[in-house]
Amino acid sequence: MDWKQEYKNKLTTAEEAIKHIKDGDTVVMSECAGVPRKVIKTLAAHHADYHNVKIYHMLTLGDGECFAPECYENFCHLTNFVGANSRQAVWSGAGQFFPAYFKDVPGMLGKEIPCDVAVVTVTEPGPDGYCSLSLSCDYAMAAAKKARIVIAEMNDQLPFVSGGTLLHISEIDHIVPVNYPPMELQPAKIGPVEEAIGRNCASLINDGDTLQLGIGAIPDAVLAELKGKKHLGIHTEMFSDGVVDLVEAGVIDGEQKTLHRGKLVATFLMGTKKLYDFVDHNPMVALHPVDYVNDPYVIAKNDNMVAINSCIEVDLQGQVASESMGTKQFSGTGGQVDYVRGAAMSKGGRSIMAMPSTAAKGKVSRIVATLTPGAAVTTSRNDIDYVITEYGIAHLKGKTIAQRSEALIAIAHPDFREQLRADFEKYYIHK
């Protein structure tokens, strides 16, 4: 059958599409700015029709209507990365968190994570019948390949992004046409603390390096300090508007990358309309599934790889907690460990944990003697390289516990240094 006729035959409404979800099914939804908003709202409106339906997702932008308390009896959320709109469901027990690396999700789909129905967002088809998964490639491609039923929200306002994102009309069962701008995430406010952290991080970045960084005030502050650099590259889980600024300034061109030369490589995108307009049909941008982009062995093929991540707290041994506050799950591991290890294996590579020295408006130190009881160790003390705050840089790789403690205390907020020295004597000296 001609793909154009097949396309017409598969057009439907969200109300009709969700009738193919059965009790007991596991629904895998695309994430971040690629969240299928129409289907989520429709499921929420018809929640009473469903029983024991599991919904797998990671971070999703928007209101997440089917995460609301009135849906708790009908939908159980499965995730390895908790976001703002799903935290209460997980904390209340209506959702379930499982520890897993982001890169492992595609391989887990259909096995450890059942995949009965995939709900993804796609662009309108190109002349050959292929749609782009647009802003969320990551595990969405694997879900579409493995699911019994594939429901696609086809949005004519999504940017067409190339790489490993193309899904043919023949691989979709039900097409729900929608027309709304993709969810935007506005740049975070950069204050003096973030500016200082950005300067400290930038001092470790050289011309020709390839970068991994995320979204938020600290990554944006780092990017703002790189305007004097040359020939930087990008191989990262995601990027946002700050990368666009440096491409337009000629700082990021990827000319010295040793893998995917000249390409901005990522697995999903999240930012503002500026970003989405930039990536649309842009041959410089290549999105690939997360099991490729976040594979440490792939990451390590980039010489001079610099991984920049953030965390909640670091203890005096160098253990990093990035995803939980005690036993309370706040986010997830994501790709942090894979980039730390990939950078360590890279020729000339470095990894950085960057964070403000305090939290709770200065009342709590993020550098602590021991991690909060129950906190998950995200990056082990064996993997840690650099830790940066607004007060300086601590290079921990190859250092003893005593040396690490001294270096970390030196970059802690001055209000907490005396107590940290006392705590070191208390917890780490056994006479």
Nearest to 353 by CA among 362, 340, 370: 340
Cα 56 to Cα 115: distance, rounded to the nearest angstrom: 9
Q: For 187-208, give one letter per residue: b (16+ CB within 10 A) or e.
A: eeebeebbbbbbebbbebbeeb
What totals of helices (H) and strands (E) does the chain contain, helices first? Answer: 15, 26
Q: Which long-range contacts (CB under 8 A, 24 or more apart) does 172-175 make?
A: 172/10, 172/122, 172/131, 172/144, 173/10, 173/20, 173/149, 174/10, 174/12, 174/16, 174/17, 174/20, 174/149, 174/150, 175/7, 175/10, 175/11, 175/12
Catalytic residue flag (residue 237): yes
Smallest CA-to-CA distance from 20 within 172, 129, 133, 179 is with: 172
Instruction: Give the chain's radius of gyration (CA, Å).
Output: 22
Q: Is the dihedral of CA 288, 293, 298, 299 positive or negative?
A: positive
Give the tokens for residue 268: 């999903």
Distance CA(395)–CA(426), nearest Å, equals 23
Q: Contact 331/323 with Cβ under 8 angstroms?
A: yes
Token pair 């209101």: residue: 63
Q: Active-site residue among 153, 225, 237, 323?
A: 237
Q: Tell me the residue length of the chain.
A: 431
CA 22 to chain centre: 30
Phi-psi region of 16 (alpha: psi -120 to 50; beta: other; left: phi over 0): alpha
Residue 258 contacts residue 123 (beta carbons within 8 Å):
no
The neighbouring-strand residues paired with 394 are: 387
Q: Which residues are catalytic?
A: 237
